[in-house]
Amino acid sequence: MGRKFFVGGNWKCNGTTEDVKKIVSTLNAGELPSTDIVEVVVSPPFVFLTTVKSELRPEIQVAAQNCWVKKGGAFTGEVSAEMLANLGVPWVILGHSERRALLHETNDFVGDKVAYALSQGLKVIACVGETLEQREAGTTMEVVAAQTKAIADKISCWDDVVLAYEPVWAIGTGKVASPAQAQEVHAGLRKWFEENISAEVAATTRIIYGGSVSGSNCKELAGQPDVDGFLVGGASLKPEFIDIIKAAEVK
């Protein structure tokens, strides 16, 4: 059996109660491919997680946008993996480029976060990606391999990890990696898995693309052999998210 297509919607720091209800209503009314074809996860801000989880159709799962690197305690403003597990939130996004850049999360710190979240029973969407400067310097594979290795050094099983390749220069900019550019990096990451972990992990780990994915470019991106889905930002707040989910049918 092939890798099941995966579509995540990262709502980031957006929305009011009214906005969230509208998005949930749109998703609940949408015609989606069956869960045999696609796995769908949406990631609202922490304050809306329980509302979305309780009101959203059951085949769409929820993810938190972050969690703390260790057990809870005197860490004001943080949310622990244990809390998410206690709420029945199955997924968490870790290592997003916005957190790496704005909050200076290092590769090692992200690796520790992924390991701890997995140890508490969460599934992880782990993000990697290069900046425009790094791409122009020709170091894309070096950068994403180092980010992936920092995770691999801390975990022994990849069954509950989806790797999201998000070129930083394409996030929220309207610029999109071409299907060929996305495929090249995804194939490179899969080769890295094969050479550094195992052929089985390389064959089974889903590598999804994020960076200005839209209803107009999703089918062509989905058609690439090593692109196993998407992590969608702005478009996940709009009705076109349904079209992006349907791109799974290309496979």
**Cα distances (Å, whole numbers) of residue 163 to 29, 78, 118:** 29, 23, 14
Residues 6 or more apart whose CB falls under 8 angstroms from that of 93 comprise 8, 10, 43, 63, 64, 65, 66, 124, 125, 127, 164, 231
Rounded Cα–Cα distance for residues 44 and 23 (Å): 10
Query: What's phi and psi for 3, nearest 5 deg?
Result: -75, 125
Q: Name the residue among 152, 192, 222 with its Cα closest to residue 3.
A: 222
Active site residues: 96, 166
List the structure tokens of 145. 């391999």
Q: Which helix (H) or strand (E) holds 28?
A: helix 17-29
Query: What's phi and psi for 54, nearest 5 deg?
Result: -80, -25
